[in-house]
Chain A
Amino acid sequence: MTQHRFLRSARITAAGLAVGAMLLTGCAATANKPAGTDAAANAGAFLTIPREDMGTFVQNFNPFAPTVNPMVQQSIYESLLIFNPAKGDTVPWLATGWKAAEDGKSITFTLRDGVKWSDGKPLVAEDVAYTFELQKKIKGGYDYLDTVAAEGNTVTFTFNKPWSPALYDVGQLTILPKHIWSALADPEKDANAKPVGTGPYTEVDSFQAQSFVLKKNPNYWQPGKQKIAGIKMLAFAGNDGANLAAANGDVDWAPQYIPNIEKTFVSKDKEHRQYWFPATGAMINWQLNTTKAPFNDVDVRKALSMAVDRDQVSTIGMSGYAKPADCTGLSGNYETWKNAEVKDNCTWTKLDVGKANDLLDKAGYAKGADGKRTLKDGKPFEFKISVGATSSDWLSVANVIAQNLAEVGVTAKVESPDWAAVVAGYETGDFDSGIVWSANDPSPYKYFNTSMGSATVKPVGTKTFDNYHRFGDATADALLAEFAAESDESGQKDIANKLQEEYNNTAPLVPLFSGPEWGAFNDTRFTGWPTEGNPYATLSVRAPTTVLVLTTLEPRK
């Protein structure tokens, strides 16, 4: 009896669902309207941006959260200054100016007048001092920072040693309101669901797991620059969904990696769609574990580097979007810092199979009768390249390198477990070689410090979070110390030139290519995007420069 009833009701349900589905089809067909093109619709439209690596959002706008919601540090909170890697210039933001002390042991920032928090209270120097106090307490770092003193409208940062890299380090931290955060019992654990910031779009609206909107800050200090009605973020669990939305014209900004972008994105609407991938990302390096033979031999590192066809690496691995490295090791982020002498007389980052063979022969790694080289102890010249399984682009890069190396008689095996396992190996020094990003900062100090500064070298077995390849160099140490103590930028450039010479001599790692910063846009509804011709910012939505884009865009009329 029960079953009979069950089956009968099931039949009814099935029929109902079928009818329902048909009805819904009708509704859905009208829901997909094309984006409006008339001025009035554009003026009220939200700038729609996909977030490709968060399947859902949680209402948490705490900037201390490790996986912070999008736009918290771009549109809600602002920093003292903004460094724009696309142009290499620095834009004063919450501070109008700054001055480093003669001895390099302090910097004084002057705050902009008339900046208000979104709740109407004025931004004061104590806010800045408090932010650093909180940041040090919750997240750590800033070990060089002794005191942060607020006085009138100036804030002075004092260091425990001359430390010039501090300018961008402190200058780019987003500032929080003391009157809100000091009232919280557990600032690091508060969801900060209704954030109060100085940024252009701070008011959280219609928050859902799959999308949320940020509306205009009613008290913004540049009201003339809030030309869009608001920002709408959409959640996607991967690039595919976000790419589909971009191809379909449902989003205005597409900051994620889009394969074959000319065909899949631009060709659908050539008039309105553009992309720009400036090489301002971190340098992507092939790191060789220099605690192991034969990677402790500079000639081997240079020879292996010469065997790599970087054009092939870029075209096959990175769809041709990446810019091959040169001997300075610096990515496109540091174009103004590059030593022309080193860059123009570059040898070991250019493909030269003949020279690579010569160098290896000379270094004592002879080719056997089978065309394969052996190490000095007679073992075959064989090692692994470890890359995380999910990074398909870097995996192809590793495969290209392995093929290139076969031509000089060196066998490389690509190993691709989960990233967690790969990184665990990097951290303890238990790896042969791997493909690794590098530090990316406005000043090149950090890159050189983590690629060849002894201070960052830890013994094998001890965990380290940078300098996985464990290479330290005394000459570089001296230069790095000089650099940190030099507060004058032209003086810094001289030292940076010497650092590049040292880098060129020692080849601490094998630089491959400057990581491109992905970015594409659709200007059907909003105009004023940064482009190669007008590089006032990059097209990234997670960079400090993002706020420059948000305050420049305007609805199409």
Chain B
Amino acid sequence: MRDNTLKYLLVMPAVVVVFATAIWPLIEAARLSFTVGRLNRPGSLDQYLGWENYTWAFFEEPAFWNSVWVTAVYTVLTVGLTTVFALALALLLAPGGRLRSSAQTLLILPFAMSPALIGVSFRFMFNPEFGLFDAFFGVLIPPLADVSWLADPNLAFAVVVMADVWGWIPFLTLVLIGGLASVPRDTIEAAQVDGASGWRVFRDVTLPQLAPVLAVVIILKSIFSLKTFDQVFMLTNGGPGTATQTLSHYIYFNGMKYGQIGYSASVAWLMVIPMIFLTYAYAKFVFRKA
């Protein structure tokens, strides 16, 4: 067989699978977003409404804007905190040594915890009666013991953010260690010989060299933060009230609990829009390398 035919034949099965499992549902979700789309009403999935689901979300549903706000704050906080902590940890671990290499191995272990499991374990640790934090604060800061962390809207949000940051630090740290390893040592040493302080070396030499890697992790982390569902579902289930209801949770809730497939498809599509920009930015980095 000629290579010219073969090369397309080899790609075909994968294209079919990607189309059937990802492209088709995207298009179908777009179609559903213009329908009445009630799960319990036969025929409503083909009954078209125009833009009504979208205008409903924008103008009639404070809960939609609440989840947009929750997701935005959540994304900014988790991306920022995870990046800062991971960078600090990467700088601590980067130069090698035995303790550091075993630490790097240990950093793989939290990956065994899926987001759902992270949600469970944080709900466990923040239990006001027998959670780990109750015990911890009971000894160190007694007024903070017996606080019902997950019953207070602001504290629950803080715990959700904390769980996410905890879960993502290892991955970002490992990526940044890799990035730091590619910063040429002699540039750093030359700067040190010239008498630059540790902070100046970091700001003027290390950070600029690390910038592309930092950009990639920030884009990736933003994508994952925007999508967050599993751990929020297991940790607070969006509550108390709607204090921790992210967009994914809001879509799930409207679609599956209330059977409003059409409406939740429209919100889901609104969520795809920022993803397109982020994916475009990410793809630029991938292809710059290739």
Q: Does A pair with B?
A: no
| B positions within 8 Å CB-CB of A | none
| A positions within 8 Å CB-CB of B | none
